Amino acid sequence: MILIKHILIIEDEVKIARFLELELQHEGYEVSVSHDGREGLTLALAHSYDLVILDVMLPSLNGMEVLRRIRQVSDLPVIMLTAKDDVMDKVMGLDLGAQDYLTKPFAIEELLARIRVLFKLKTASLSTKQPNTLSCGKLTLYPDKFEVNYNGTPIILTKKEFELLEYLMKNKNIVLTRNQILENVWGYNYIGDTNIVDVYIRYLRNKIDQPFEQKLIFTIRGIGYQIKAD
């Protein structure tokens, strides 16, 4: 049985929204459209969409806020559309739990390719059985429960921080290059600043190494990163 994927577009520029709607329908997706942030959020929470394509600049409620509120209750995949080529915007969107982003103007083929990858990844991650716990020293991560603790003290991570830590811990004691990390955590189709890895390693250190006065995450100069415990 083939399930038709249902995509919600939240974009106030009517022409762009209409164009996306037609292109996605042409690809065989079922599509809903909202031109308003608040209305889009209501729709996103009320229906079981497979993906939301979310513009950042929206009337009544901006895209970051829509994303933040979706993430409070749902893992629904979100691709952000940003007009500004602003690294902070991208980092913030990813930090809030967006799966991907595109800077306007973008080629429709690029969006379609990223959607295909995202749906493929999602299916793959559902079918891969994960171990119940990963550990490194006193750090324990529960992939199924989305929980991490250090010696019993819970650590609050964003989705992307969690995915990065999970990848590092799965490869405990192994040196990972930035590219390996990018491809495995952000996906092969990630097109953006490779500094994103360093930024997120810093976030993790601030939440794991620093508060517990430990060093688990090591920089291997000129190569990448490694997690290990004594």
Residues that bind Ca ion (CB under 5 A): 12, 55, 57
At its nearest, how many Å lie between Ca ion and the CB of residue 174?
43
Q: Name which of 25, 29, 23, 21 is nearest 5 in CA terms.
A: 29
Reading across the β-sheet that carries 217-220, which strands appear in turn? 176-177, 224-227, 217-220
Q: Which is nearer to Ca ion, 12 or 147 (CB)?
A: 12
The structure tokens listed for 170 are 């799965």
Q: Which is nearer to Ca ion, 10 or 148 (CB)?
A: 10
Q: Name which of 149, 136, 102 is nearest 227 in CA terms.
A: 136
Q: Which is nearer to Ca ion, 89 or 161 (CB)?
A: 89
| Residue 173 to residue 220: CA distance in whole angstroms | 12
The structure tokens listed for 200 are 């997120």
Q: Which is nearer to Ca ion, 58 or 134 (CB)?
A: 58
At its nearest, how many Å lie between Ca ion and the CB of residue 111?
15
Instruction: Tell me the residue nearest to Ca ion as measured from the CB.
Output: 57
At its nearest, how many Å lie between Ca ion and the CB of residue 128?
36
At its nearest, how many Å lie between Ca ion and the CB of residue 12?
5
